[in-house]
């Protein structure tokens, strides 16, 4: 199973970016998918998550600015980031819990490679 994240870049404060994360490989289904970010010198933190059934969670500082969603196939996740601030700068990682088969008794957890987001003031 592989997660491929894309969509990062450099923008000025107030701008927007849209990140994408696709899950590929051999698996049965995906469950909760999340976006994390890691700023320089800081720990990785959860930014937003979406369950397979559409339940959403956001880190407080991004509420009202970021929107997480999933494609109808459930195996692609997006993060629409609006009103970006310099403090949103960091490497953004996607994370997914995946059922490897319909007989699996627990999910496996996977990380994608990071995509850099840089917001200048």
Give the C-alpha separation, 47 to 19, whole Å: 12
What pLDDT score was predicted for residue 6?
Answer: 95
Give the model confidence (pLDDT) of 4-57 as tens digits.
999 999 999 999 999 999 999 999 999 999 999 999 899 999 999 999 999 999
Give the C-alpha separation, 17 to 82, whole Å: 7
Tell me which H or E stretch contains 112.
Answer: none
Percent of the chain exceeding pLDDT 90 equals: 91
In this structure, are residues 96 and 110 in contact, taking their beta carbons and an 8 Å threshold?
A: yes
Give the model confidence (pLDDT) of 10-21 as tens digits.
999 999 999 999
Give the model confidence (pLDDT) of 61-99 as tens digits.
999 999 999 998 889 999 999 999 999 999 999 999 999
Phi and psi at residue 53, to the nearest 5° = -95, 5
Give the C-alpha separation, 61 to 87, whole Å: 10
């Amino acid at each position: 199973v592989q997660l491929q994240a894309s969509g990062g870049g450099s923008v000025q404060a107030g701008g927007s970016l849209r990140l994408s994360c696709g899950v590929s490989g051999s698996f049965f289904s995906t469950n909760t998918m999340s976006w994390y970010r890691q700023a320089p010198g800081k720990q990785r933190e959860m930014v937003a998550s979406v369950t397979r059934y559409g339940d959403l969670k956001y880190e407080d500082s991004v509420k009202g600015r970021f929107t997480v969603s999933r494609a109808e196939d459930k195996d692609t996740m997006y993060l629409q980031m609006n009103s970006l601030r310099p403090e949103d700068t960091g490497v953004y990682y996607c994370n997914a819990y995946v059922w490897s088969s319909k007989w699996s008794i627990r999910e496996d957890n996977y990380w994608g490679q990071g995509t850099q987001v840089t917001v200048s003031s």
